[in-house]
Amino acid sequence: MNLWSISFRNLNIRKVSSTLTTLSIAVAAGLYAAIMIMAEQTRQRFEGSISGYQAVVGPKDASQLEVVLNAILNVGDAPGLIPLGVCKDLREGRVGRRSAVRHAIPQARGDSISKYSFPVVGTIDEMFGKFERGGQLLQFEQGGPWSFTWDELWVVAEQLAAHESAKRTKAQPIPPKPSFQPSWKQAVVGSRVARTLGLSVGSEIVPVHGKYGEFDFHEHPEATCRVVGILAPTNSPLDTTVFLPLATHLLVDGHEGGLFKVEVPRGKNPDAVKEMPVRADQIGLTAIIVDPVDHMGAQFLRLEFGTRPDAQVCWPGNVIPRFLQQVGNAADALTVIAWLVLVVAAIAIAVAIYNTMNERRREIAIMRSLGARRLQISAIIVGEAAMLSFVGSVVGVIACHVACLLLQGLVEDMTGVYLDWAVFSLRELWLVLGVTLLGALAGLLPAVKGSFTQVADNLAPNY
């Protein structure tokens, strides 16, 4: 019988204590594996989410992190508004000498869909015709995009400005407000939106002002849209987004008061703004997705916008890594806690085996009398500790992945992170090896005590 077989037999004799010790190791290893999986897949999601977003223009008085999190990752509320004229300047090359852009796509958000609060983004069709992710346009799982161009947006903006200006200045006659066109009441939804709500091409969705459960939320039945396209899965916030023509967002009842970004003139009463005429270029946007021509274009744009009072340029490639570094610090703290739990579990192994040494003195004395050397006795006891640690760590890693499978939907709903339970990393292999080594080290103390058991004093049975 080899040493490993003897170690296994000894553990099998003490099934209850062996099982409890293994479970303590499994809990610690599973906790550590869970932290690794969440941290790694969160990092991959955040870094993958900014693919295609070279620069984002947002409100001047918001932090860059707020702008990027809201415009790209659908986190939080829109931090403010920027005038449509900024987008026009970008598109017409009136910003700076080296700030030419391939596209500048306006966005306006604030509404949501269903109790899951999937964000609704009003935009133009360049989001499907020019925006590229991973070097290619957004792909569709079903259907296709709707059509609403920049030129159409500008016409709607001018009509809205004329209508609003007449109302504010009490001019007569008041030009009519633009009416909904059938082609504007269409929607493209992300794959997770479709999966969660059971949508398909032809289904109808109703935007909700605000979020379910919050004060003053209400539906917009006048903006009921038909789903014309479902995006292919991207494992990014695009999967949870609903895209509507920007005209639909502008024409929804209740949005009139916040449609225009009007600055209060110096020395004027803020209430006087309500009586001032407005222009089309003052239509309020929450963000502009920009793709600079120059590979350093994001930095040039930031410099150009440094002196503009109406907007700022955020560089996701710089903002997100700094944000992830902060998240990583929190993950590192949790990792330390997990390792402390592992150390406690290793101590429990040492204590559990050490406490059996008195009971096993006669057994060890018999083995010594039959020719077993001190080193072999030590190897048997260390082998027991290593076996407990190995089995516990493997069980913990497997249990962690099973939990990821079972809680996949819940975690995605709460955090937006899709956990791919089937992905095993090399770090998990190192975790198993590390925990096994830690357990073996924990078995050294009882191994030393067992190897020095006196043969003559312990051969006689104890009655």
pLDDT tens track for 378-407: 677 777 778 888 888 899 889 988 888 888
Closest listed residue to residue 58, CA positions, set 50, 69, 46, 42? 69
End-to-end CA distance of the chain: 29
| Per-residue pLDDT band at 463 (split at 50, 70, 90) | very low
- If you average pLDDT over every residue of the chain, what do you get? 79
Residue 154 has pLDDT above 90, yes or no: yes
Residues 35-56 have a mean pLDDT of 78
pLDDT at 113 over 80: yes
- What is the per-residue pLDDT for 84? 92
pLDDT at 42 over 60: yes
Whether 237 and 270 have beta carbons less than 8 Å apart is answered as no
pLDDT greater than 70 at residue 14: no
Lowest mean pLDDT among 189-193, 289-293, 331-335: 331-335
Q: What is the pLDDT of residue 364?
A: 55
pLDDT band at 451 (very low <50, low <70, confident <90, very high): low
Look at residues 248, 315, 320, 284 and name the one whose alpha carbon lies nearest to residue 73: 320
* Structure-token pair, residue 370: 């039959």
DSSP letter for 135, please. T
The arithmetic mean of pLDDT across residues 238-243, rounded, is 92
Residue with more model confidence, 271 or 101:
101
Q: Please give the pLDDT value at position 202.
A: 92
Task: Tell me the pLDDT band of 95, cut-offs 50, 70 and 90.
Answer: confident
| Position 174 pLDDT exceeds 50 | yes
Q: CA–CA separation, 23 vs 10, rounded Å?
A: 18
What residue type is 337 in one-letter code? Answer: I
The SS3 assignment for 124 reads coil
The 3-state DSSP class for residue 266 equals coil
Q: Which residue has the higher pLDDT, 196 or 337?
A: 196
The predicted model scores a pTM of 0.74
pLDDT cut 70: percent of the chain above it: 77
Residue 327 to residue 66: CA distance in whole angstroms: 15
- Specify the length of the chain in residues: 463
Q: Give every CB contact of residue 370 below 8 A, 6+ residues apart in sequence.
A: none
- Is the per-residue pLDDT at 3 higher than 60? no
CB 68 within 8 A of CB 252: no
The residue among 236, 325, 250 whose CA lies nearest residue 286 is 250
Please tell me the distance from the alpha carbon of residue 222 to that of residue 206, in angstroms, as a whole number. Answer: 8
Q: What is the pLDDT of residue 430?
A: 87
The interaxial angle of helices 426-442 and 444-451, nearest 10 deg, is: 30
Q: Give the single-character DSSP code of 151.
A: H
Tens of pLDDT, residue by residue over 417-439, are: 667 777 777 888 888 888 888 87
> Position 282: which residue type?
Q
Identify the CA nearest to 328 among candidates 72, 45, 36.
36
pLDDT at residue 12 greater than cutoff 70: no
Q: Are 164 and 259 in contact (CB under 8 A)?
A: yes
Res 246 pLDDT > 90: yes
Pairing assessment for the beta strands 140-143 and 312-314 based on DSSP bridges: unpaired
Return d(Cα 299, Cα 176) in angstroms, integer. Answer: 43
Report pLDDT for 269.
Answer: 65
Host H or E run for residue 118: strand 118-123
- Predicted confidence at residue 256, as pLDDT, reads 58
Q: At 387, give phi and psi (nearest 5°).
A: -60, -45
Position 80 scores a pLDDT of 83
Question: Between the CA of residue 303 and those of 85, 214, 246, 316, what are the distances in Å?
Answer: 19, 39, 29, 15
